[in-house]
Amino acid sequence: MDRIRITGGRELNGTIPISGAKNAALPLMIASLLTEDELTLTNVPRLSDVSNLARILGNHGVDVTIAGKRSGDDVLMGQTVRLAARSIVDTTAPYELVSTMRASFWVIAPLVARMGRAKVSLPGGCAIGTRPVDLLLMALERLGAKIEIDAGYAVCEAPNGLKGAEIDFGKVTVGGTHVALMAATLADGTTVIRNAAREPEVTDLAECLIKMGARIKGLGTDTLEVTGVTRLKGTHHAVVADRIEAGTYAMCVAMTGGDVLLEGARPELMQAALDVLTQAGAEISATNAGIRIKRNGAGISPVTVTTAPFPGFPTDLQAQLMGLMTRAQGTSRITETIFENRFMHVQELARLGAHIHLDGQTATIEGVDVLKGAPVMATDLRASVSLVIAALAAQGETLVNRVYHLDRGFENLEAKLAACGAQIERISG
């Protein structure tokens, strides 16, 4: 099993190209099920989640061609993925495939919209409740689908097609909004989605669907109006830049000091995170090429942050911010409001010398002058990269184990950091 070895204490200087967003690429790939034509996506990141989803879509009959793997290609740039669902050969998504990644459950929407039926394993075999799919299923029921839960599967049927309806989400749900959007594009009539997620990745999906012929109003707002069409066509679409990756590398620079251009990053998609980094003492400026972040020898200032749906501070940057605040000059507080059990990185940060106290969904971080390298273990995608951030400033050597979590969401992380001066390497086996 691969590990990453980091020797801390080096500033970061240079340029880091920002990849396409994983959280946009996955629903965009799933949207290929809505049309017989070919959907071509560019700027798709090289991630294990992308590869896994390609296999899942292949199970349904999608022909997936991934270009950009020829000798001499720049591995720091995105790849092109062509998807053609000319005929759906199977409307069942089995447990052994869906269990590898939660987002694959979203195939239920295009399958029932196009084929009138879908049988999809509940993700990870979970009961409806924790990170629930109940809101996703509610959206499909509003559109006229009949749903039964049978032996760990959601069986969704709409033999006469889906019908436009009003969908009111009781809480903001990115997955629910993705599902409602995709299903409504082929529904008969008009669908109004209220309390819709406003995340840039949702808007990116909507923009691609519009290119495919969908009729959607209200992009970027919490109310989306979708007028169904009888069929969608193929198109070309570039995946939006990954605001979470950009925010992660910005925190790496804020931790180590230095001067880095985050090439291709879009400040308007991550303003809440940039505001927090400015409070912490980083200098941030937008350029035509992306976002430039600097921190000189001054210390890191503590912050108080509560995660919130977009445009608030993203839950997917909470662990990274905690890693940064371990070295702040004072006391920081981070409250997590989106997901429970998202503080699993706390015990591993403590192995590096961090002082963190948990009280429910709030973490209080007492900044320390020195972190010291140690063996640590990644527990999930975002938690794993918080350990990298802390290790970049720790004295001595840190070994990050179980880095397959990192490979799910960060494209060539060690190569990008090493190119800016970090002493970091992957150890295979």
Catalytic residue among 126, 208, 252, 420: 126
Rounded CA-CA distance 204/202 in Å is 5
What is 3-18+241-427's CATH topology?
UDP-n-acetylglucosamine1-carboxyvinyl-transferase; Chain (3.65.10)
What pLDDT, on a 0 to 100 scale, did the predictor assign at position 278? 97
When pLDDT is averaged across residues 191-220 and rounded to a whole number, the result is 98
> Is there a shared CATH topology between the 3-18+241-427 domain and the 22-229 domain?
yes
Percent of the chain clearing pLDDT 70 (strictly above)? 96
Q: For 142-161, write each residue's pLDDT tens digit.
A: 999 999 999 999 999 999 99
When pLDDT is averaged across residues 416-425 and rounded to a whole number, the result is 98
Q: What is the residue extent of each domain of the chain?
A: 3-18+241-427, 22-229
Q: For 292-306, write each residue's pLDDT tens digit.
A: 999 987 899 999 999
Centre a 10 Å sphere on the Cβ of residue 316 and count the other Cβ atoms it contains: 25
> Distance of CA 168 to CAs 194, 203, 225, Å?
5, 18, 12
CATH class of 22-229: alpha beta
What pLDDT, on a 0 to 100 scale, did the predictor assign at position 62? 98
What pLDDT, on a 0 to 100 scale, did the predictor assign at position 124? 57
Rounded CA-CA distance 114/207 in Å is 20
User: Are 181 and 224 within 8 A, CB to CB?
Assistant: yes
Mean residue pLDDT across the chain? 94
User: Are 102 and 339 within 8 A, CB to CB?
Assistant: no
Question: Of 310, 307, 375, 359, which Cα lies nearest the Cα of 335?
Answer: 307
When pLDDT is averaged across residues 271-289 and rounded to a whole number, the result is 97
What pLDDT, on a 0 to 100 scale, did the predictor assign at position 24? 98
Q: Is 46 annotated as a binding residue?
A: no
What pLDDT, on a 0 to 100 scale, did the predictor assign at position 213? 98
| pLDDT at residue 127 greater than cutoff 90 | no
When pLDDT is averaged across residues 224-242 and rounded to a whole number, the result is 98
Q: Is 69 annotated as a binding residue?
A: no
What pLDDT, on a 0 to 100 scale, did the predictor assign at position 69? 52
| pLDDT at residue 30 greater than cutoff 70 | yes
Q: Is 402 annotated as a binding residue?
A: no
129 falls in which pLDDT band (50, 70, 90)? Answer: very low
What pLDDT, on a 0 to 100 scale, did the predictor assign at position 89? 96
What pLDDT, on a 0 to 100 scale, did the predictor assign at position 165? 98
| pLDDT at residue 270 greater than cutoff 50 | yes
Q: For 243-265, write each residue's pLDDT tens digit.
A: 999 999 999 999 999 999 999 99
What pLDDT, on a 0 to 100 scale, did the predictor assign at position 75? 56
Q: Is 134 annotated as a binding residue?
A: yes
Question: Of 169, 201, 178, which Cα lies nearest the Cα of 310?
Answer: 201
Q: Which residues contact residue 360 at a Cβ distance below 8 angstroms, ignoring those fewer than 6 apart?
A: none
Q: Is 133 annotated as a binding residue?
A: yes
Find the angle CA(395)-CA(391)-CA(271) to the nearest 5 degrees.
130
Q: For 31-86, write each residue's pLDDT tens digit.
A: 999 999 999 999 999 999 999 999 999 999 999 999 855 544 555 568 999 999 99
Decide which of 101 and 227 is more confident.
227
Whether 126 sits among the annotated catalytic residues: the reply is yes
When pLDDT is averaged across residues 97-102 and rounded to a whole number, the result is 86
3-state helix, strand, coil in the chain (%, to 5): 35, 30, 35
88 falls in which pLDDT band (50, 70, 90)? Answer: very high
When pLDDT is averaged across residues 324-342 and rounded to a whole number, the result is 92
Rounded CA-CA distance 133/122 in Å is 8
Q: Is 188 annotated as a binding residue?
A: no
Q: Measured in whole angstroms, how far is the alpha carbon of residue 60 from the centre of its chain?
A: 23
Q: Is 239 annotated as a binding residue?
A: no
Q: Is 132 annotated as a binding residue?
A: yes
